[in-house]
Structure 1
């Protein structure tokens, strides 16, 4: 039975793709406004005493080039994330591609299920040093996709349960959502880095000023004070704007991640026994609960949204220096009990 793409998810994916493209440009424009309009205007008003509305911020002479460069940088970032995002995921997880001679049974399972889903056979990779059972799929298209399983998954599951988890990952491939998730993570990563840098400057710059040796009464005094004032205002605006865009993009990434898991569960249930996937999720959840913190840290490489089962991140602290707790956002995955309930209902309707 061929697996059809999830139309409801395809529609949401199209909307999300629009936001993924629009939000980085909006962030770039906001930063452009801060550095090319607010900064010169504030500094000129401070030093010369000319009212703000009398200052001509950088205008027609320079903005065209600035916008062109800004657009080029943002497009390059999105393209690079799209092209190299799967490599980052594989590298950060420690996955190694395996050939048919090394893992004949695993390749046979993937090939059989891919044929059933009407997909080209993907590459297969294993995370040999990871004892936590999990799996994910990456790739820019079905023809360039890779299904990844941990050694812990191969040790924990077999038979129909292992087939069901692989079918879940193939449903992600069918829905083409792996590349979308990696591209969607560009803006949260960028804005968080900018916010962290601005926060660092705001915290540490007052200490630096305490040791600065300048006389506010000499000719350079007003200019230096103007630079300091503009620097602090710019840092504060940068922090506020980047934090706002980070929260928006991070929330979108998590909501999309939750729905893509439901869509992949439905796809796996269409390809295999829904009860088998429900049983597999229950077994994975039990193993995750019992996994040592060190094993969970090994698996946590910034790609937790791609996994078939969520990391139990409440078991350990990985963000001691975080500007804002991620606990206020939805989890990357729906509750496992809820997913099991839906799969059980689907199985009862079928049988």
Structure 2
């Protein structure tokens, strides 16, 4: 699966949403204009001329201006409100994050599956969330990119799917992340909200009327006004559903197939779909906000209106051609409560940490157990601080090979996001003081990119960078410095020869190696910072050049891998598959 090509195609499809949205907007205006033309004679009987004027600029303007203002304004507002990434979408739909230290067996199984699928897909481990009030079997992935992605499952999915079936469903959602479908879905949610905002306004007026009962004629008038607005807004709802359906249903069939590539278990996916069909809900959700996001779910979140997903039986037969048509019956009333013993906050790390025990555990698996442990790792990398528990963590990191040490540092991001915001802000500020001192090590380079690009942004301490570089030709010096650093890390001088032709193709200038004095972690950090404001395509071009440089000699050294991890953190792109086993 070519990640970069899939991402390019997804962004191309996302750009096509705008013309589709404009067509839907014109459709809403045309429908409301037609209604206005039909009803105006009853309110303006003294107007001279024919009873019905099918072309009436005055009426058209009176309809178009408020409709465009409401719909476009609503879409822009919703898209801006979702800039925080997948966590914002998940929270809006009533989900909660699963703490890394959860003692609930079903949630622990879910966390393990997410980590396994991230390794299989070659992307950073996304946050795991649960819709604890939803009894139906469903799931979705959301986010603006792989680094801001979340994977969400319902309580019903945790309760009624076995491990293989849940892994198949999670693998389906991971394919949406890898293929860039979440980019499309994220943008579509904003546009759909704009189209349904008139209907939502009508609902809001009706709710206000319910709260002012007893006001006589005002209450009746409010109910009537809300009902009219809601009915008129239903036209926008229709076009919103049409726009959601225009996002090819074929994507769901492809995601089912991609899940099988990850899990190698087509039977599990088929069983999961049969269990969905065996429930009376069939994936339906209670959340009223699910309507604007119905296209992101594993199964339709409601069964009304136009279909956004392929027929369930069609999906099963694509996996199991000889299926007899029988579903697996599931009784949703038998679910087990999802309780996290000890509260939702993870426990503190014990003060008497054992360095040998930590090193042994990290050699087996670099994942960190709690946010507190991740905090100590970052403090240890950044210089220690005053916490006495940092010393054994520093010793444990020193006992690891460089590749394992880098993996542990990279593993701090996900658990750190569970820290209280105040504590996270203090940690970022302490790390920034250390970074500002200069003289970065290669490990600090990776830590710096992770802190600035992922942790600080999550804490609200950094806004998404503005896009200022739309071609690699404006970053040719920075790209040359990063590539020269990779060549220096390889030690064989073969890396540059493999990238020179493609570098010239993208930049239009001959390759010129950076001076040796600039080939330091601080120099590379400055070059990577420039790429924060590059377009996704430019970042993909840099990652491809780096991959060519590293793979040119058939060997991947620890120093090369460290630089590549920093490049991945800065660009928000996954490591190439050839480096995942390191």
Instruction: Give the TM interval when normalised to the shorter protein.
Output: 0.5 to 0.7
Q: Which residue number in structure 2 is paired with residue 79 of structure 1?
A: 76
Task: Write the deviation string for residues 265-309 of structure 1: whole angstroms up to 9, x where unpaired.
Answer: 2332332225122222112322x23x5x9x956356424433212
Q: Is residue 284 of structure 1 aligned with residue 281 of structure 2? A: no
Q: Which residue number in structure 1 is paired with residue 98 of structure 2?
A: 98
Q: Which residue number in structure 1 is paired with residue 319 of structure 2?
A: 343
**What SS class does the counterpart of residue 100 from structure 1 fall into?**
coil
Q: Which residue number in structure 2 is paired with residue 250 of structure 1?
A: 241
Q: State how far apart, in whole Å, the 2-side matches of 1:312 and 1:249 are.
A: 14
Q: Contact 1:97–1:125 at 8 Å: present in 2 too?
A: yes
Q: State how far apart, in whole Å, the 2-side matches of 1:278 and 1:29 are.
A: 44
**Counterpart pick for 2:157 among 140, 153, 160:** 153
Q: How many residues align?
A: 283
Q: State how far apart, in whole Å, the 2-side matches of 1:50 and 1:159 are.
A: 72
CA distance 1:243–1:135, change in 2 (3 Å) = closer
Higher RCO by CA contacts (8 Å cutoff, separation 6 or greater): 1
**What SS class does the counterpart of residue 286 from structure 2 fall into?**
helix
After superposing the two structures, state which structure 1 stretch, 120-129 or 19-28, moved more. Answer: 19-28
Q: State how far apart, in whole Å, the 2-side matches of 1:312 and 1:41 are.
A: 39
Q: Offset of 1:78 from its aligned partner?
A: 2.0
**Counterpart pick for 1:180 among 158, 183, 187:** 187
Q: Contact 1:2–1:116 at 8 Å: present in 2 too?
A: no
Q: Which residue number in structure 1 is paired with residue 19 of structure 2?
A: 18
Instruction: State how 1:295-314 maps to structure 2 within 5 Å.
Output: 298=286, 301-302=290-291, 303-311=293-301, 313=303
CA distance 1:142–1:71, change in 2 (3 Å) = farther
**Counterpart pick for 1:266 among 229, 248, 257:** 257
CA distance 1:51–1:299, change in 2 (3 Å) = closer
CA distance 1:134–1:34, change in 2 (3 Å) = closer
CA distance 1:73–1:164, change in 2 (3 Å) = same
Q: Contact 2:142–2:185 at 8 Å: present in 1 too?
A: yes
**What SS class does the counterpart of residue 124 from structure 1 fall into?**
strand
CA distance 1:310–1:123, change in 2 (3 Å) = same
* Cα RMSD for the two superposed structures: 4.6
CA distance 1:48–1:272, change in 2 (3 Å) = closer
Q: Contact 1:136–1:306 at 8 Å: present in 2 too?
A: yes
Q: Contact 2:285–2:302 at 8 Å: present in 1 too?
A: no
Q: Contact 2:75–2:195 at 8 Å: present in 1 too?
A: no
**What SS class does the counterpart of residue 338 from structure 1 fall into?**
helix
Instruction: State how 1:103-252 maps to structure 2 within 5 Å.
Output: 103-173=107-177, 174-176=180-182, 177-193=184-200, 246-252=237-243
Query: 5+ unaligned residues in a row in structure 1: which ranges?
Result: 198-207, 209-234, 314-325, 346-351
Q: Which residue number in structure 1 is paired with residue 346 of structure 2?
A: none
Task: Write the deviation string for residues 128-158 of structure 1: whole angstroms up to 9, x where unpaired.
Answer: 2333221112222222221111122112223
CA distance 1:274–1:335, change in 2 (3 Å) = farther
Q: Which has the larger radius of gyration?
A: 2
Provide the TM-score with structure 1 as the length reference.
Answer: 0.61
Q: Contact 1:98–1:125 at 8 Å: present in 2 too?
A: yes
Provide the TM-score with structure 2 as the length reference.
Answer: 0.39
Q: Contact 1:172–1:178 at 8 Å: present in 2 too?
A: no
Q: State how far apart, in whole Å, the 2-side matches of 1:11 and 1:126 are.
A: 31
Q: Offset of 1:23 from its aligned partner?
A: 3.0
Query: 5+ unaligned residues in a row in structure 2: which ranges?
Result: 205-216, 218-227, 322-582
**What SS class does the counterpart of residue 6 from structure 2 fall into?**
coil
CA distance 1:334–1:284, change in 2 (3 Å) = same
Q: Contact 1:139–1:146 at 8 Å: present in 2 too?
A: yes
